[in-house]
Structure 1
Amino acid sequence: MARLAGGEGVMPSDGGRARGRRGRGGGGGAEARRALRSSGTAAKNRFIERRIPPYEILTEEGLALVEQNAETVLEEIGIEFREDPEALALWKEAGADVQGERVRFPRGLCRKLCETIPSGFTQHARNPERSVVIGGNSTVFAPVYGPPFVRDLEGGRRYATIEDFQNFVKLAYMAPALHHSGGTVCEPVDIPVNKRHLDMVYAHLRYSDLPFMGSVTAPERAEDSVAMAKLVFGADFVENNTVMINLINANSPMTFDATMLGALKVYARHNQACIVTPFILSGAMAPVTPVGVMTQTLAEAMAGLAFSQLVRPGAPMVLGSFASSISMQSGAPTFGTPEPALVLYGMAALARRLGVPFRSGGSLCGSKVPDAQAAHESSQTLLPTVLGGVNFVLHSAGWLEGGLVSSYEKFVIDADQLGMMQTFAQGYDLSENGQAMDALREVGPGSHFLGCAHTQANFETAFYRSSIADNNSFEQWEAEGAQDAYQRANGIYKKMLADYQAPALDPAHDEALQAFIRERRDAMPDAFS
């Protein structure tokens, strides 16, 4: 892997191997294993190391055309960098044409600057066994990000609180197929806007030992996130390693605002990773065609990525793409449609050609509840995510109602699907055991494989077994309450939270974090807007 940051040049060979989660069979042993999975205490999977090739759609000529058009956008139309004189000065010094807040770039300038971005890097977790590699053949699943509302079966739709936030951090920590704690898993509106980032970062550090995301809603909140990370990881370690990844959205079309630029500068200067993502609703914030969306996305993303390298050459970055179609009747975003999948496949290939990690996809839907619409739309997003070779997957679990809601039940349902993708991404087993010639020889014509030695030896690991799906007889299903997947997921998430046990955190680190939070809270009045 070229330009691999953080001194972690080799991905573990078992990076994505699902262990102990795929058994089938009857009896108490199987039920005990199912209960273990449902409780959230099953073995945690490492990040996925894909053993299947990425699905390529665009030809070389098509990819080159999009790249050429993106360079034309950068050169002729330009990108606005608003209310940030430092950014404009850096671009002028780099040779760009700066007129007011509009920056136009000589052809090839942004691509050249992106050459110092690592093609992959390790994001270190406070538990080293949970560290992840972002780039290359790896895929990292992170939960939903940003909803102001939460939903569960009994409580319905309501504003999120810090208790909800902590719950989703705990669920991500316990779910075997989630590799990352995420960031704003929901927006805790019961805490002042200018202080809630302190509680959110603390929750990631206290209730999980997975990698996590920092705050980007103001530069000073990004600084607080870095300071809190240093209290746990050590100042020198943070400055020389990546312990946070952070979401920087372009204000499409073709604009970066001062808030995002300020946060980006903070994290880049401290060697912390950022995902530069144009947030696009096709037809509203970009053209309606997939190629037009890809052209604009590549131009905006390259401008943001290149800017990070003016701040600190070599800072780890990720090219992000979030593209949704819209309803031409209502203007609402739609998910699971073919056009965003086409954008994802193309942007993944363009990121690989640029030599940087790629973020996109997830389990996206517009449905209001975890129903058939939610399932279909989420699967139509998740499959392209895995097939396309996405490296960092935000919104992998829990997304509902176009991103307005974090759903407890859908979190569990999505996490089950992520486990399936973990298995699928391993591809074929071509070992002697995988070839199964001994089974074919033992059974021969006209018999069955249920009792043969090979089947018995692979009994527990041969197939993925869902913790959500019910494959019992109708009579057994009815006797057990005739529950649908929504109801089963409700029971599973409650059991996971009931069984949760916090990972160990050095008491001195915890005390330092709480003292820092008290000091920062006392330094400013509450603000709710």
Structure 2
Amino acid sequence: MTIAETPVQLRRGGRGARREIRTAIDTTMLPALKRNLPLIEPMDAEQIARIDAASMDILEEVGVVFRDPIAIEDWRKAGAKVGEEDRVFLDREMVREFIATIPETFTYHARNPANNLPFGADHAMFIPMTGAPYLRDLDDVRRGPTLDDLANFHKLAHMLPAMHSSAHHIVEPMDHVVAHRHLQITHSSMKHSDKTFMGMTTSGKNAEDVLDMCAILFGTEFMETHAVVTGNCNGNSPLVWDETMLGAMRAFCRRNQPVLCSPFVLGGANTPASTAATVAQLNAEALSALAYTQVIRKGCPAIYGHYLSTVSMKSGAPMAGTPEISLMNMMIGQMARHYGVPWRTSNTLGGAKTFDAQSGYESASTMMAVLMSGANYMWHSAGWNEAGMHCSIAKFIVDAEQCAMGYRMVEGVQWGDFDEALAAVRDVGPGGHYLGHPHTQKRFQEAFFMPEMFDNNSIEQWAADGSKDITQRALERARDMLAAYEEPTLDLAVNDELLDYIARREREIPAVDALNEEY
């Protein structure tokens, strides 16, 4: 739960009994989610084999373009067939051998060891959204973000118990030139939270900068054997991996840091207009990248990734929360488990322009499918709206509470007090109530999740409290949290070294508003 509740008084009575509760912000991070519910698996063994065979046929017969001379040479040395225009044809047995060396589980290490996270198999984590060029701010105004706005999101991610990471560029800091942003973004992730975080992969050189900063924070030798940061490499569907992403992938894999291999799916636009065939193509794309991580460094951690949306055949716009996306998540979960690799998905996605009912429905539909499909790395878990064009502070707060609710559900049924609770049935008997019973007194805070952002009062009480909608309540909560924020201590010498590194790299990198691969 996002709030620790302390009872100050209980007035005993019948149906009208109420609790007066004093609330205080509790920022303790929830442990890694360990699933105790059965997963939804829509495919049988024959259908899994059919997807696998179709994907392997694509890799062998259609091929995948690796638009990068270093990757092409790597594949030649590995024994792959390279055709014209950088098209690589991968033998299925070669792919299976490479995939088999990816660790199924590992541990994420944060600068605060209390926030370390077991990862993979039954363990999962929630990560905020990233990449928004706009935000809806504390006044719910849509505008361009600054580095201070990004810092506020990192602070909120640090304080929200269900968020297991501070991510990286939750919003783009438009007050810094593009060529230098990755440095400031990484420092903000490290400084304002002591949870694990993500690293920018906007170019190979930028990825190396991020990893150098991680080495300052954690130590080069430590990184050789411990996962401390996550990179993301998006593929260009259909069937293309480009030089920018592959350069970043090599940087992360060479340092033994996990990378998400994420085909970008616009179902019906860059994949077939078919759920099953889309998964077959996506699976081939993901497998080709996962295999390449092992060409770079055998045994390095890698994560089966994707970004899923379907395209409106009326407008061409990407859609969120559709049933096909839910089905694809469930199918991809089965495929990842079939290969024995951890996997990533996207959570609480909304396409609405404001934090409205559409946004809530889309996000809830996505989250339920994600939770029941067994995803390990649940990215974009807070704030995503307008198809990722903005991050809403109000939605960020409510999404995080929704994740905490989902966390509680997937933990499964708790049986620890079953006998004690049954004894209360005998004590109360027919026609009584449980509000004053010792078992209820002891358990009322933990027995049922009590959302803070949802209003369940009578309409009279709601009106007396100001008739506030959920956006207003969430923005008030965000202001309260930011006012109460305490920065987690970062060693001054380490911070000085990070700042010196940033200053040196900003002198070396031309301050132009575009990435320059020569630097």
Once residues 110 and 188 of structure 1 are traced to their aligned partners in structure 2, the CA distance between those partners, rounded to angstroms, is 39
Once residues 358 and 3 of structure 2 are traced to their aligned partners in structure 1, the CA distance between those partners, rounded to angstroms, is 31
Task: Name the residue aligned to 2:69.
Answer: 85
Q: Deviations over 1:74-125 (max 9, x none)?
A: 011010000x222111212222110130001112321220111000111100
The answer as to whether partners of 1:19 and 1:45 remain within 8 angstroms in 2 is no
The answer as to whether partners of 2:27 and 2:158 remain within 8 angstroms in 1 is no
- Aligned residues with identical type, % of pairs: 38
Task: Name the residue aligned to 2:378.
Answer: 393
Q: After TM superposition, give the deviation of residue 433 of structure 1 in Å.
A: 3.5
**SS of equivalent to 2:177:** coil
The answer as to whether partners of 2:105 and 2:118 remain within 8 angstroms in 1 is yes
Aligned with residue 206 of structure 1, among 179, 185, 191: 191
Once residues 244 and 142 of structure 2 are traced to their aligned partners in structure 1, the CA distance between those partners, rounded to angstroms, is 30
Q: After TM superposition, give the deviation of residue 27 of structure 1 in Å.
A: 6.0
Q: TM-score, normalised by structure 2?
A: 0.94
Cα 1:385/1:434, change in 2 over 3 Å: farther
Query: Would you say 1:160 and 2:145 are equivalent positions?
Result: yes
Aligned with residue 58 of structure 1, among 43, 68, 82: 43
Once residues 275 and 290 of structure 1 are traced to their aligned partners in structure 2, the CA distance between those partners, rounded to angstroms, is 22
Q: TM-score, normalised by structure 1?
A: 0.93
Unaligned ranges ≥5, structure 1: 1-17
Task: Name the residue aligned to 2:338.
Answer: 353
Q: After TM superposition, give the deviation of residue 44 of structure 1 in Å.
A: 2.2
Task: Name the residue aligned to 1:236.
Answer: 221
User: Residue type of the partner of 2:79?
Assistant: G
Once residues 39 and 343 of structure 2 are traced to their aligned partners in structure 1, the CA distance between those partners, rounded to angstroms, is 12
The answer as to whether partners of 2:237 and 2:271 remain within 8 angstroms in 1 is yes
Cα 1:299/1:365, change in 2 over 3 Å: same
Query: Would you say 1:180 and 2:165 are equivalent positions?
Result: yes
Task: Name the residue aligned to 1:270.
Answer: 255
Aligned with residue 234 of structure 2, among 249, 253, 256: 249
Task: Name the residue aligned to 1:3.
Answer: none
Of stretches 154-163 and 370-379 in structure 1, the one that deviates more from structure 2 is: 154-163
The answer as to whether partners of 1:438 and 1:454 remain within 8 angstroms in 2 is no
Task: Name the residue aligned to 1:280.
Answer: 265
Q: After TM superposition, give the deviation of residue 453 of structure 1 in Å.
A: 2.6
User: Residue type of the partner of 2:44?
Assistant: T
Q: After TM superposition, give the deviation of residue 429 of structure 1 in Å.
A: 1.4
Query: Would you say 1:466 and 2:454 are equivalent positions?
Result: no
Equivalent residues in 2 for 1:37-52, closer than 5 Å:
37=25, 41-52=26-37
Task: Name the residue aligned to 2:14.
Answer: none
Aligned with residue 514 of structure 1, among 475, 499, 516: 499
Q: Deviations over 1:6-28 (max 9, x none)?
A: xxxxxxxxxxxx69758899769
Once residues 314 and 168 of structure 1 are traced to their aligned partners in structure 2, the CA distance between those partners, rounded to angstroms, is 34
Once residues 286 and 110 of structure 1 are traced to their aligned partners in structure 2, the CA distance between those partners, rounded to angstroms, is 22
User: Residue type of the partner of 1:176?
Assistant: P
Once residues 140 and 216 of structure 1 are traced to their aligned partners in structure 2, the CA distance between those partners, rounded to angstroms, is 21
Task: Name the residue aligned to 1:292.
Answer: 277
Once residues 6 and 44 of structure 2 are traced to their aligned partners in structure 1, the CA distance between those partners, rounded to angstroms, is 41
Q: After TM superposition, give the deviation of residue 276 of structure 1 in Å.
A: 0.4
User: Residue type of the partner of 2:411?
Assistant: Q
Equivalent residues in 2 for 1:8-19, closer than 5 Å:
none
User: Residue type of the partner of 1:179?
Assistant: H
Once residues 268 and 390 of structure 1 are traced to their aligned partners in structure 2, the CA distance between those partners, rounded to angstroms, is 22
Of stretches 182-191 and 251-260 in structure 1, the one that deviates more from structure 2 is: 182-191
Once residues 314 and 226 of structure 2 are traced to their aligned partners in structure 1, the CA distance between those partners, rounded to angstroms, is 48
User: Residue type of the partner of 1:36?
Assistant: A
The answer as to whether partners of 2:330 and 2:373 remain within 8 angstroms in 1 is yes
The answer as to whether partners of 1:23 and 1:461 remain within 8 angstroms in 2 is no
Once residues 158 and 442 of structure 2 are traced to their aligned partners in structure 1, the CA distance between those partners, rounded to angstroms, is 31
Once residues 326 and 213 of structure 2 are traced to their aligned partners in structure 1, the CA distance between those partners, rounded to angstroms, is 37
